[in-house]
C-alpha cells in the first residue's frame, strides 16, 4: 500500500507518533510521512491517507479543498486516535471521520467488544479484548458500520451511557473511511493485535481487501 501518513499537531501532541509510524511502515514500506499542510496541495497519488494522532486545525484552506477532492474522487482515509480531535470546525472532515472527541477518563484497564467480526480490522481479535487504553468519549457519532465498542462497565469515568463505538468504517463522500480510537501509548504499537487491527482497517480504506 502507498500511504501518506499525516502527523501534524496544533493541539496536544502524542509522544507515540514515532512508534505509530514505525508500526505502519512494517506493513506499508511505501509510506510517506509529513507534517507539511502543503502536502495536500500536490497531486495525491496514494492508496490511502492516514491521520495519525493529529490534533487541532492542521490544514490550510487549499489543503482542505485538496483532501476533499481526493476523497470524493474515491480516495481512502484512515484516522487513528486523536484524529477525532482534528479539524473540529470543518463539517466535511467531521462527516468523513464520523465523530468528534469530547474527553476521556484516566488511562486504565478495560474491555473492548467486537461488534463486527467480519471485517479485516477485527479479524482474529478476541472478544472481549482486554487492554489498557485512553478510553475516548465522542459526540456527533455518525457510524455506518461499527467494528468495536467500549464496554463502559469495565472502566470508570465514561460520560456516555452504555457501550459506545470505538472503531468504525463507512463509505461516504465517494471514498472509504476507517477510524479507530485505539493507539494512545507508544507501547501499544508493538502489540500484534493492535498492529493487525490497524493493518486491516487501513487496507480496507485503501480498497486493498475484498471485504464490503
What CATH number should be reported for the domain holding residue 178?
3.40.50.880
Whether 161 is covered by a domain: the verdict is no
- Residue 199 falls inside a structural domain: yes
Model confidence band, residue 5 (pLDDT cutoffs 50, 70, 90): very high
Identify the pLDDT of residue 135.
Answer: 96
Q: Is there a domain that residue 80 lies in?
A: yes
In total, how many domains does the chain have?
1
Percent of the chain with pLDDT over 70: 97
Is residue 39 domain-resident?
Answer: yes
Lowest mean pLDDT among 8-22, 27-41, 80-94, 113-127: 27-41
Does residue 128 have a cis bond before it (omega within 30 degrees)? yes
Measured CA angle at 183 (ends 182, 189), to 5 deg: 130
For the chain, how far is it from start to end, CA to CA, in angstroms?
A: 18
Q: Is residue 50 part of a domain?
A: yes
Give per-residue pLDDT as tens, 130-185. 999 999 999 866 667 999 999 999 999 998 877 889 999 999 899 999 999 999 99
What is the DSSP code string of 107-140? Answer: SEEEEEEES--SSTTTTT--SSEEEEE---EEES
Residue 126 lies in a domain: no
- In the prediction, which pLDDT does 211 show? 59
Residue 132, in any domain of the structure: no
Q: How far apart are CA 28 and CA 42, in angstroms?
A: 21
Residue range(s) defining the domain that contains residue 58: 3-102+166-205
pLDDT tens per residue across span 66-78: 999 999 999 999 9
Question: Would 59 be classed as within a structural domain?
Answer: yes
Amino acid at each position: 500500500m502507498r500511504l501518506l501518513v499525516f502527523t501534524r499537531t496544533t493541539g496536544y501532541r502524542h509522544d507515540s507518533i514515532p512508534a505509530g509510524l514505525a508500526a505502519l511502515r512494517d506493513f506499508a514500506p511505501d509510506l510517506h510521512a509529513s507534517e507539511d499542510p502543503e502536502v495536500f496541495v500536490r497531486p495525491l497519488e496514494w492508496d490511502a491517507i492516514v491521520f495519525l494522532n493529529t490534533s487541532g486545525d492542521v490544514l490550510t484552506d487549499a489543503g482542505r479543498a485538496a483532501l476533499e477532492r481526493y476523497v470524493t474522487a474515491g480516495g481512502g482515509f484512515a484516522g487513528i486516535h486523536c484524529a477525532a480531535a482534528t479539524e473540529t470546525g470543518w463539517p466535511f472532515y467531521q462527516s468523513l471521520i464520523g465523530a468528534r472527541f469530547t474527553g476521556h477518563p484516566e488511562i486504565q484497564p478495560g474491555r473492548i467488544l467486537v461488534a463486527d467480526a467480519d471485517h479485516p480490522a477485527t479479524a482474529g481479535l478476541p472478544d472481549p479484548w482486554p487492554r489498557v487504553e485512553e478510553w475516548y468519549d465522542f459526540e456527533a457519532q455518525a457510524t455506518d458500520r461499527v467494528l468495536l465498542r467500549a464496554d463502559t462497565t469495565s472502566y470508570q469515568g465514561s460520560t456516555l451511557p452504555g457501550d459506545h463505538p470505538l472503531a468504525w468504517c463507512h463509505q461516504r463522500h465517494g471514498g472509504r473511511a476507517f477510524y479507530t480510537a485505539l493507539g494512545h501509548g507508544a507501547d501499544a504499537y508493538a502489540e500484534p493485535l493492535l498492529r493487525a487491527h490497524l493493518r486491516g482497517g487501513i487496507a480496507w480504506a485503501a480498497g486493498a481487501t475484498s471485504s464490503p
